[in-house]
Amino acid sequence: MSEQLLKIEDLKVSVEEKKILDGVCLEIGEGEVHVLMGPNGTGKSTLVSAIMGDPRYSVDGGRIVFKGEDITEEKADARARRGIFLSFQTPEEIPGISLENFIRTARQAITGTPLKVFAFKRELKAEMDKLGMAPEYAERYLNVGFSGGEKKKAEILQLLMLKPSLALLDETDSGLDVDAVRTVTEGINAWHNEHNSLLIITHNAKILEGLKVDKVHVLEGGRIVKTGGAELIGEITEGGFNAVKEDN
Ligand SMILES: Nc1ncnc2c1ncn2[C@@H]1O[C@H](COP(=O)(O)OP(=O)(O)O)[C@@H](O)[C@H]1O
Ligand SMILES: [Mg+2]
């Protein structure tokens, strides 16, 4: 059994007075890959946003424990410094800040030490190459005019450059063509190792084929209604969520 990285205990979360999560329990060990599935609007994005500490989501009960410490009350930037990273379902466009500056600022904020500009640029270029991103994207304003696939690649680039110990990826594959799915999967695998863990929200069987999935959770009605191994993916893809719930 691997060392525990994240533990969520009986988490209750509401958004604008509306109760969304009603007692979510979830544990992720070091190095593990977990998939979060569930019908639309059930609270998957809410859960990862609450783990990241997005202030729009209010925690009404329960605890979030990361590396043995209670971070339930902590601000998002403090959680980022601890090594938690969230890739958004719909990445925001930020005119005025280039992709490179954005990543550099984030990395400096996380490490707390000034970075060496040329080494950083070299590293950024190498990672962009791996993702098949043309170098000029480094100078483009973050996500402005990026296609869906380019936005997702920019998120994976952040993953590679910020090296979090827990990555929360929210439907990273949506809007990607088959080649881009492969690139994204390769990017995830390049970052992943036995110490850092992934919680990915996706229904795309293709992206899941490329990952070594340890556990699958189904969220419905504000709770995790089923947890199992990678075999759940096929069962859900074939028979829908009801197929896995009936034997629960
Ligand atoms: N920022 C927000 N403002 C208002 N309502 C929200 C917000 N985020 C989520 N919700 C609502 O919370 C519910 C769960 O949404 P979400 O977590 O995005 O579901 P999922 O990711 O599973 O599709 C939905 O009813 C959604 O409308
Ligand atoms: Mg969502």
pLDDT tens digits, one per residue of 87-137? 977 788 889 999 999 999 999 999 888 889 999 999 999 999 999 899 999
For residue 138, what is the DSSP state?
G
User: Shortest CA distance to 103 belongs to which of 185, 183, 164?
Assistant: 164
Would you state the pLDDT for residue 248?
47
8 Å CB contact between 150 and 93: no
Mean pLDDT, all residues of the chain: 92
Would you state the pLDDT for residue 190?
93
- pLDDT greater than 70 at residue 146: yes
- pLDDT greater than 70 at residue 219: yes
As assigned by CATH, the class of the 4-90+164-245 domain is: alpha beta
- pLDDT greater than 90 at residue 193: yes
Ligand 1 mutation pick, 16, 22, 40, 45, max ligand atoms within 8 A of CB:
45
> Does residue 27 sit in helix, strand or coil?
strand
In angstroms, what is the span from residue 116 Cα to ligand 2's centroid?
A: 37
Share above pLDDT 90 across residues of the chain, in percent, rounded to a whole number = 71
Residue with the smallest CA separation from ligand 1 atom 23 is: 41
How many beta carbons lie within 10 A of that of residue 152, not counting itself?
A: 27
Ligand 1 pocket residues where CB is under 6 Å:
15-16, 20, 38, 40-46, 56
C-alpha span between 217 and 233 (Å, rounded): 10
C-alpha span between 187 and 148 (Å, rounded): 16
Residue with the smallest CA separation from ligand 1 atom 25 is: 41
Helix axes 148-162, 117-130, angle to 10 degrees: 130
For residue 165, what is the DSSP state?
S
Nearest-atom number in ligand 1 for the CA of 39 is 22
C-alpha span between 32 and 195 (Å, rounded): 8
Amino acid at 129: D
